[in-house]
Chain A
Amino acid sequence: MADTATISSYPSTLPRPRDEQAALEAVWASPRSWRIVTDVNNTVIGYFYVGTAMLFFLLAGTLALLIRLQLAVPSNTFLSQETYNQIFTMHGTVMMFLFAVPVVEAMGILLLPQMLGARDQPFPRLGAFAFWAYFVGGLVFFSTLFFDLAPSGGWFMYPPLTSSQFSPNIGADFWLLGIGFIEISAIAGAIEIIVGVLRTRAPGMTLDRMPMFAWTMLIFAGMIVFAFPAVILATILLELERAFGWPFFIAAKGGDALLWQHLFWFFGHPEVYIIFLPAAGMVSMIVPTMAGTPLVGYRLVVVALIATGFFSFGLWVHHMFTTGIPALSLSFFSAASMAVSLPSGIQVFAWIATIASGRLRWTTPSLFILGFLFIFTLGGLTGVMVAMVPFDWQVHDTYFVVAHFHYVLVGGMVFPLFAAFHYWAPAFSGRALSERLGKWTFWLMFGGFNIAFFPMHLAGLMGMPRRVYTYPAVMEWGVLNMVSTMGAFLFASGIALFLIDLARNLRPGGSDTAGNIWNGGTLEWLHNREYGPRSIPIVTSADPLWEQPHLARDVDAGRYYLPGSITGRRETIVTSPIEATPQYLLRLPGPGWTPFLAANFTAAFFMLLTVKAVTLALISGVLAVAMLVVWMWDSDPKPLEPVDIGGGIKLTTYASGSLSHSWWAMIVLLLVAGSLYLAYVFSYLYLWTVSPQFWPKPEALAPVASAVLSAFLLVSGSAILVAAGRVLPHRSRSGRAFELLTGLAAAILLAALIAEVSAQSQAGQRPATDIHGALVFTAAFLQGQIALPILVMAGFVIARSLGGRLVLERRVIFDNFSLLYHYTIGQSLLGLLLVHGFPRLAG
């Protein structure tokens, strides 16, 4: 551990060994040519990730232009009704799921390690896996459009329109399996970001010295953890209904179409802030640099961000103001929707205050920020308007709302993103982007945007609904629509100019970048290569490059921590979550085929399942698991002797328990699983309030004894696994007790699941008959979904133990397995209580 004395003794003035930097570079070298797909380094994956997200931006933008062409004149026949419906569904879906969330996640993967002074993300292979899964899954999903197989139920996919009865084509299945799968990839990225931000900051970078972008990414990732599981559950339920007839959304059997809307918008509203917060973080980074002064109200802004994240989970019903819900709920959600505008107000005036306290330079990033301020404020104000229930009754699902959320999303996210591209390009590229072209790009985009979207407010007020493929001439919406179409093409020409600028000037990947041309104050403006800075500095303020004048020079001379590779592998320093005190040296994996292959096979599994090629899908699934096992076999390397990272600081090379970064990742994963299960508990109770008549009388339920038996099995499973932990062998192995107990615990979990399913079947419950049966078997399904990985992991734990890779001193794999196992037991017990106890309580 580092104490204040050693920290103050830095930077070291000792000369560095001659070949230290060359060795460091060799360890971090990217594979050549096409083997680059095996690289896992955050910079390389970050380039791929941002590039792919922008590709989807262009694709979905092209769809938008087709939409605008169709609507330019009344009664147009440019697109057919069905084609138009597919195109607007894909435009929304691709923009939200394949562009907006991935691109901010990508910017996080690319920028965070540099900003935090880390060499890489804490789980490089997980990041690579998440990217490739998204890349392959996204491309396959998009290409359904070329085969007339794209979904046409809207990006919100409301049942019953998307049920097998009203959407018999597999387009809806592509949406459910494809998007569900891509969201899993987003969650993987979120776990990576949370652990990265909390555990891999440079020494001394306490939470209140953390760059604002890192704060927003932390909150962004935290929101993904709680919001995405709701929509993943929704997609599971709808797919179970489509494939097997479990009637979650069919009113005649006790289901309810509104359940989907609750789950979807419980995700969908936070989603807006999930997209906006990181963009606000970018603004909070760029404004201080361009004004040449620290952000005014740093703490206020952090509080505002946290408040936004918190409030955003209490607003979802404002998407449902027209569904006939009672006045009391309407008023509550109306108030909450207004309250969420307060933190945005704080941020807007904090940026204005920062501009006022410095001198704003008229650069391209500044222009995009000012454009953002105007557009986002206007979008926020129409947001306040639609939060007013009676006004919403008129404009809901009209072009007024289309205008509103494009002002919020394009203004709130795309403009800051373009500011960010122009701002950070010199940190990664040999040349900065052109200021002259950049200003043209801005004016084309700003003018085009307002010309395209402002008239939509008016069209909506004049009665034009959303999602219409045409309209009759008598409605006199023609002029406004023609203006919108022209604006859209102007906006697109701005994007085209930006692409020209990129082609002319963007030169990433070289060892020398254009550098700190804006005089930024944060660590990403150090001389960063693929491995980040030459040495990892001590941070003593929020804007270290401004406060520590020689920092850049000293870092580059290797005068701070970890100036070379100590163990001959890729490494980074793990620090404590709040104070950022060095804790241990994390050895990171290098390039390998397994993340790439695992992602491809996982994508193949989901896509083949969609087209009902079950055998091939299963083969892909098994191969994906096999790749994961191979990948994990090398993880959790053997502890080494403590190492000196410089300045007399000795760090261990191994950590277990809550000190370990992977323990943190597992906890976050359990939060995801818990959120998913709570969404299920909510669905169960919600559907009971809607159709209690479908719940059987207590005497018709599965007997209490069966539940007691299952519960007994589960509790004993937990006890057995605890016992296994006690007999975890030391270095030298003796007996087979550990393997036996671990195997037994896994088997008992399976036995409890089988006992529950057979008890319910014997009691006459069937999943497709009515909503109660469907919910009972959903509990079992969710249980099976987590029991299966536990079985695989138990086998893996046993294999590692047999292979001598799991002993008392090297036990992280077992610790993580135990966390998941005990969580699963807890989830099962809750499920038993709900499924067996609730009907008896309520009946």
Chain B
Amino acid sequence: MRHARSFATIVASSVVLGGCGRDVQSMLAPKGIQAEQIAVLAWLLFGFGIFVLAIVIAATWLAIGGSARSRRILAQENTVLTLGIAFPVVTLTLLLGYGVWLTRALLDTDRDQNAVGIEVVGEQWWWRVTYLAPDGTPVASANEIRIPVATPIAFKLKASDVIHSFWVPSLGGKVDMIPGRTTHLRLTAERPGTYRGQCAEYCGGAHALMALEVIAMPASEHAAWLRRAAMPARAPQSDIEQRGQHLFLGAGCGACHTVRGTAAAGKLGPDLTQMGARRSVGIDTMPLTHDNLVRFITDGQHVKPGNLMPEFRFLQPPELDALAAYLLSLKAMDADG
């Protein structure tokens, strides 16, 4: 009984942790329809688990030190059959029925006819995100996914190199991204907010750093944002930004990165058209600041070991300043964040 009580205490404290702490990546603090349904199932399972554990502990306790009568009952084969087969068959069948129903409900794609489609491709070790603008043109981005609230999102998931897994616990379960296959996931955020996700399938090297953020925005804001994001990159305004762009194109950054509206059209690395609007650099290893950008450009192998970008150590401090200034300027004029 002592164990059951401590189990309950710890489970209860997890509610506190889930409820009051930073719950950006907790399945017990659901912020989406799918995650909520799974959380209900989870609590049901925890209750079932505590109940059965209590039965086993009580039976063991009685078997060791109980009255002669209770020990006689426990020692019968019929008791073994009742507690070992009959009871689990009934309870597990009920649980299974609920689980199967929920599985089908969550996989049922017919009910969201108006889902917004977003394609996410897992790469070692970042996320390539492609939206569709209202006119149908693809809009490329990386590591941040902006979605409208209360709208079903149909994620189309792919992998370019090894297996990854797309997981945003606050919104729902995970689905693997497998080379050569396309998998699907439906998520619906219920309120605005920023929800962290993380690659859940070990993908080598910097797997631990392969995080992403889903930013749920009111639908109207989201539409406006997507219109802006679909436009070509903002042209450099100041001298330093112009020098930065010159360097960006001259140093060969465009071989791997795209900045729409310029000669940089590389596809290997993340699209940087909206780089200045992102919240972090090197996935979420560092917040997006001037210094952190410079650090990633010159010392990226320490920030995110094994990533494909060479370290541009030959650039001098003034050049790095210009480059960072240019990258930070890459955002639609009135973009938030």
Contact = CB atoms under 8 A, between A and B. Distances in A.
A356 to B, nearest CB: 4
B176 to A, nearest CB: 5
Contacts of A338: 92, 95-96
Nearest to A463: B25
B63 A462 contact: no
B173 A390 contact: yes
A454 B81 CA distance: 30
Given A390-B99, A462-B28, A300 B80 contact: yes
Contacts of A47: none
Contacts of A160: 161-163, 179
Given A161-B204, A349-B84, A393-B38, A257 B10 contact: no
Interface stretch (A4-12, A339-347, A586-594): A339-347
Interface string A350-362: 1011111100100
A297 interface: yes
Nearest to B174: A322
Contact of A324 (B53, B56, B172, B181): B181
B232 to A, nearest CB: 33
A394 B37 CA distance: 11
A252 B202 CA distance: 22
Contacts of A455: 10
Contacts of B72: 356
B92 A384 contact: yes
Contacts of A461: 14, 18, 26-28, 42
A134 to B, nearest CB: 27
B28 A388 contact: no
B21 A397 contact: no
B198 A297 contact: no
Given A334-B96, A382-B49, A384-B92, A397 B165 contact: yes
Contacts of B309: none
Interface in B2-53: 3, 7, 10, 14, 17-18, 21-28, 35, 37-38, 41-42, 45-46, 48-49, 52-53
Nearest to A154: B202
B228 interface: no
Contacts of A382: 49
Contact of B201 (A335, A353, A397): A397
Contacts of B231: none
A731 B16 CA distance: 85
A240 B41 CA distance: 44
B335 interface: no
Given A257-B180, A475-B25, A346 B208 contact: no
A395 B172 CA distance: 11
Interface in B53-69: 53, 56-57, 59-60, 62-64, 66
A222 B21 CA distance: 50
Contact of A356 (B14, B41, B74, B183): B74
Interface stretch (A263-271, A371-379, A704-712, A783-791): A371-379
Interface string A230-262: 000000000000000000000110011110000
A341 B206 contact: no
B193 interface: no
A467 B207 contact: yes
Given A322-B175, A353-B74, A465-B198, A381 B103 contact: no
Contact of B169 (A390, A392, A394): A394
Interface string A75-119: 000001110010000000000000000000000000000000000
A395 B88 contact: no
Given A327-B104, A353-B75, A373-B60, A388 B45 contact: yes
A395 B27 contact: yes
Interface residues of A, number: 83
B238 interface: no
Contacts of B333: none
Interface string A389-412: 111111111100000000000000
Interface residues of B, number: 92
A252 B159 CA distance: 13
A645 to B, nearest CB: 39
Contacts of B178: 257-258, 323-324
Given A160-B179, A356-B71, A390-B106, A462 B18 contact: yes
Interface string B243-261: 0000000000000000000
A20 interface: no
A470 interface: yes
Contacts of A31: none
B162 A161 contact: yes
Interface in A788-833: none
Contacts of A381: 48-49, 52-53
Contact of A463 (B27, B66, B96, B106): B27
A454 B10 contact: yes
A471 interface: yes
Nearest to A165: B161
Contacts of B62: 356
B296 to A, nearest CB: 16
A465 B53 CA distance: 26
B224 interface: no
B204 A166 contact: yes
Interface in B197-213: 198-208
A639 interface: no
A330 interface: yes
A474 interface: yes
A324 B109 CA distance: 13
B27 to A, nearest CB: 4
A591 B234 CA distance: 83
Nearest to A465: B200
B306 interface: yes
A476 B305 CA distance: 24
Interface string A436-479: 00000000000000000011001001110111111110111000
B262 interface: no
A345 B72 CA distance: 19
Given A390-B41, A468-B208, A158 B163 contact: yes
B299 to A, nearest CB: 15
B267 to A, nearest CB: 17
A394 B27 contact: yes
A463 B26 contact: yes
A296 interface: yes
Nearest to B105: A390
A370 interface: yes
A27 interface: no
Given A394-B38, A469-B208, A385 B71 contact: no
30 contacts: A82-B306, A161-B162, A161-B204, A322-B201, A324-B184, A331-B100, A334-B99, A338-B96, A348-B84, A349-B79, A350-B80, A352-B56, A357-B71, A377-B53, A381-B52, A384-B49, A385-B46, A389-B103, A390-B41, A390-B103, A393-B38, A393-B174, A394-B27, A394-B172, A396-B173, A396-B174, A396-B200, A397-B202, A462-B25, A467-B208
A-B CB proximity, top 8 nearest: A251-B180, A393-B173, A463-B25, A357-B75, A468-B208, A324-B183, A356-B74, A356-B63
Given A166-B161, A300-B77, A391-B45, 20 more contacts: A158-B163, A158-B201, A160-B179, A258-B181, A322-B176, A345-B88, A352-B56, A377-B53, A381-B53, A389-B99, A390-B41, A394-B169, A394-B172, A395-B27, A455-B10, A462-B14, A463-B27, A467-B207, A467-B208, A476-B17
Interface of A: 80-82, 85, 152-154, 158, 160-161, 166-167, 251-252, 255-258, 296-297, 300, 322-324, 327, 330-331, 334-335, 338-339, 341-342, 345-350, 352-357, 360, 370, 373-374, 377-378, 381-382, 384-385, 388-398, 454-455, 458, 461-463, 465-472, 474-476
